Structure 1
Amino acid sequence: MNWHQRIKQRLQQRQSANIYRTRQPNQAVGCCRLLINNKKYINFSSNDYLGLSQNKSIIAAWQQGAKRYGVGSGASGHVTGYTLPHQQLEEQLADWLGYPRALLFISGYVANQTLLAALIMAKDRILADRFSHASLLEAAMHSPAQLRRFHHNQPDSLQKLLDKPCSGQTLVITEGLFSMEGDSAPLSQLQQKTTAAAGWLLVDDAHGIGVRGEQGRGSCWQQGIQPELLVITFGKAFGLSGAAVLCQKEVAEYLLQFSGHLIYSTAMPPAQACALQAALIRIQQGDDLRDQLQQRIKQFRAGAANLRLPLLPSDSAIQPLLVGDNKQTLLLANQLRSQGLWVTAIRPPTVPPGTARLRITLTAAHRATDIDRLLEVLDAINHAKC
């Protein structure tokens, strides 16, 4: 079998299993509106939970930053790409979340990959919640360490793994708010067990930061813990892109010396760091947006309960509607799109086989009428099946 035959075979396998992925170019007309092929949709697939991607003050901050610093950084942070806006943003994030240091990264995926690549050595072990993000599990599998997965959100399952001997260091991995389930990790219990075993805890709070806790400080703050490694991303509630790792000073210095990404990748544009500073201010003052989001979540959950929709238990902006079969999930997504509602079908390998679902995401920018329309169409589809 040559290269072309192998590629063709693997593509055909995905198509036959109804897990083939496609992209659709769109002209966004707001964080919860899409224009695709000249058709308008209400968007229920965005992670822009607070609607900040369209915030005028944040857009203005990016524009002003571009006028002052240009549209790119021109180098890695170790050369000339680290500017005053980068430094200011790192210091503001560290102060906001109560850590000595913060380091900026281009994306959450990169932050997770580079953390494990820099820290993990042979004889170490990684104990990860089985539903942890692909960036974490992939990095763990490619590391020289032993990877073991504990049952989702079950501290006792973690304890059984911690009880086994390890000649190296132990890193426990979880998410604060899980991206495909919409549920929260029992962070306090996980940290207690990890600390008792002399391990470190890494929490990826991509979907909790900005929407949970006082001033949007996230899942860890809300649950009263401070993990050794906290990853936050800016592509969700911040409305932009990029990520940061919060840690102790010595760890930050270690990463600056041993993280290939920080050493060799071009830094994020200074203008982006300016916009992120503006987004941070809006998040800190964003109780109104968080309250609006909670209203939409309660509205949708109440309506879905009346319709007896098979939702997973979630009080977050992520509302997974379990379907199970890949083909049926695609069919349901297409039925919604025919009615002007854009909802993404999530299938394996993103989720376990047999658990395909619609990942409905709600934002503070959605109107009450948007939620009513989604419930109305879902109800009509259900009645059509009967």
Structure 2
Amino acid sequence: MDPWELATKLDELKRQQRYRLRKTIESPQGASVQMAGQMFDNFSSNDYLGLANHPSVIKAFQQAAERYGVGSGSAHLICGHSAEHHALEEELAEFTGRDRALIFSTGYMANLGAISAMAHKGDEIFQDKLNHASLIDGGRLSGAQVKRFVHGDMGQLKQLLEGSSTRRKLVVSDGVFSMDGDEANMQGLVGLTETSNAMLMIDDAHGLGVLGEKGGGLLEACDLNQQQVPILMATLGKGLGTSGAFVAGSEELIETLIQQARTYVFTTAMPSAVMAATRQSLKICQQETWRREKLRHLVARFRKGAEQLGLNLMPSQTPIQPIILGSNEAVMAAGEYLKEKGILVGAIRYPAVKKASERLRITLSATHTDSQVDNLLLGLEELFC
């Protein structure tokens, strides 16, 4: 007897090629990883700068674990907020040019906490239709009315804002969109929020570390300040190679989140050792500009080769390089073929993306070699040509 019909629903997911399986990695994250004793070129990770297994980041983690232990023991507002948390928050605030920053345990929790703390019933939230699930869920959780505009369509957003009569309006967008790899129209978003007296929140999870001269992300690259983008969220587990997330902004914003963001207040703090490791990776991110230069080189090399093969690329200049295949079946078959060639890529299916836009999500890292990219292109040529 299965009153919830769990087995039936799982079988239906399998029939639709939507059933997800976890990959068990037996090595550190990197340009190559080991699974079941076999090494694979890894083009499915968000470790864009190659810092997840950096020796000095590991050393910082180990030294902090010796000093602080493994667990933080409590929530930030009880006794879980260590000197490492505090120092990292101050360094992230300086890095992003904001008054203050606040550490969250995950990016999902940061977005849920920030949006639900800022917007409430009677307010309106305007979201790009391709925003990350955590931004969409944050809007739902807040109780505010959520209105979604076509991806990147500033004309539709303008109409929605002009048609709004509410006093408190929040516009929310990814900075770099996680599935398409394209960048938000920051000048358009800033201009519309300024003229409509709305607040702007940007999730720069996939831009931090990757964009900007010092890796400050899309906002650094666009030279946008705290007044223009009052709420900045970014994660630590992608470009910086560790784990967790933060929100940066004004003194009043951060104090409001400390008091009202439930995903901050009611959860155990991240381990101090992760914070110490992130402080080290943040230094490397700023100092070793060659990592971003290498990424730009690899992106250009891949795109040139993929265009020569006639592949259906999207207009992305970031390390996220999707190839549209158009069905769950095609994506799964392509992913398995490349895996047999010793290459791991992300096979992204509906409903993670809309129907007919199912894709291979190829991601590049500064630690990839030219020969690895060429081998990937060879595998794609054998697969599609």
TM-score tier after normalising by the smaller chain length: over 0.9
* Distance in 2 of aligned mates of 1:141 and 1:8: 29
Residue 350 of structure 1, aligned match among 349, 352, 360: 352
How far apart are the structure 1 equivalents of 2:69 and 2:170?
Answer: 40
Which residue number in structure 1 is paired with residue 306 of structure 2?
304
| Rounded Cα–Cα distance in structure 2 between residues aligned with 1:382 and 1:274 | 45
1:4 CA drift (Å): 3.8
Partner of 2:223: 224
Report Cα offsets for 1:233-262 as digits up to 9, x if no partner: 011010011001001101111111112222
Amino acid at match of 1:242: G
Residue 215 of structure 1 aligns to a residue in which SS?
coil
Conservation of the 8 A alpha-carbon contact between 1:123 and 1:166: no
Deviation at 1:13, TM superposition (A): 2.5
Whether the 8 Å contact between 2:233 and 2:246 is mirrored in structure 1 is yes
Partner of 1:109: 108
Q: Which runs of at least 4 in structure 1 moved beyond 6 Å after TM superposition?
A: none
Return the alpha-carbon distance in structure 1 between the equivalents of residues 150 and 218 of structure 2. Answer: 20
Aligned to 2:50: 51
Partner of 2:200: 201
In the TM superposition, residue 29 of structure 1 has moved relative to its aligned partner by: 4.6
The offset of 1:165, in angstroms, is 2.4
> Which of 231, 237, 240 is the matching residue for 1:238?
240
Pairing of 1:27-66 with structure 2 (within 5 A): 27-66=26-65
TM-score (norm 2): 0.97
* CA–CA distance in structure 1, aligned partners of residues 200 and 28 of structure 2: 40
Find the counterpart in structure 2 of residue 147 from structure 1. Answer: 146
- The farther-off stretch of 30-39 and 150-159 is 30-39
Deviations 1:199-252 (A, max 9, x none): 101100000000101210100111122311000101101001100100110111
Alpha-carbon separation, structure 2, partners of 1:133 and 1:366 = 26
1:244 and 1:302 map into 2 onto residues whose CA distance is 35
1:41-93 CA distances to partner (integer Å, 9 max, x unpaired)? 11100100010011111110000101111111111111111111111111111
Aligned partner of residue 214 in structure 2, secondary structure: helix
CA distance, structure 2, for counterparts of residue 322 and residue 129 of structure 1: 20
Output the amino acid matched with 1:156.
G
Q: Post-superposition shift, 1:30?
A: 4.6
Would the aligned equivalents of 1:216 and 1:286 in 2 still touch at CA under 8 Å?
no
> In the alignment, which of 256, 259, 265 is matched to residue 257 of structure 1?
259
CA shift digits 1:271-305 (9 cap, x unpaired): 11111110110011121111111111111011111
Structure 2 match to 1:295: 297
Contact 2:208/2:215 (<8 A) preserved: yes
Correspondence 1:1-386 to 2 at 5 A:
3-5=3-5, 7-226=6-225, 227-383=229-385
Q: Secondary structure of 2:10's match?
A: helix
In the alignment, structure 1 segments of 5+ residues that lack a partner are none
Unaligned 5+ segments in structure 2 are none
**1:8 CA displacement:** 2.3
1:172-210 deviations in Å (ceiling 9; x for gaps): 011111110010001111011012111101100000000
Q: What secondary structure does 1:304 align onto?
A: helix
Range with bigger deviation, 27-36 or 337-346: 27-36
Secondary structure at 2:347 match in 1 = strand
Decide whether aligned partners of structure 1 residues 177 and 311 sit closer, same or farther in structure 2, where only a CA change above 3 A counts: same
Aligned-partner Cα distance in 1 for 2:110–2:165? 26
Is contact 1:188-1:224 (8 Å) kept?
A: no
Q: What is the TM-score normalised by the length of structure 1? A: 0.97
SS in 2 for 1:183: coil
Give the Cα separation in 1 of the matches to 2:96 and 2:298: 27
Amino acid at match of 1:192: G
CA distance in 1, matches of 2:28, 2:109: 29
Displacement of 1:317 in angstroms is 0.2
Alignment check: 8 A CA contact 1:33 1:43 kept: yes
Q: Partners in 1 of 2:3 and 2:86 — Cα distance?
A: 46
Distance 1:131 1:165 in 2: 22
**C-alpha deviation, 1:12, in angstroms:** 2.4
Distance (whole Å) between structure 2 residues aligned to residue 16 and residue 147 of structure 1: 33
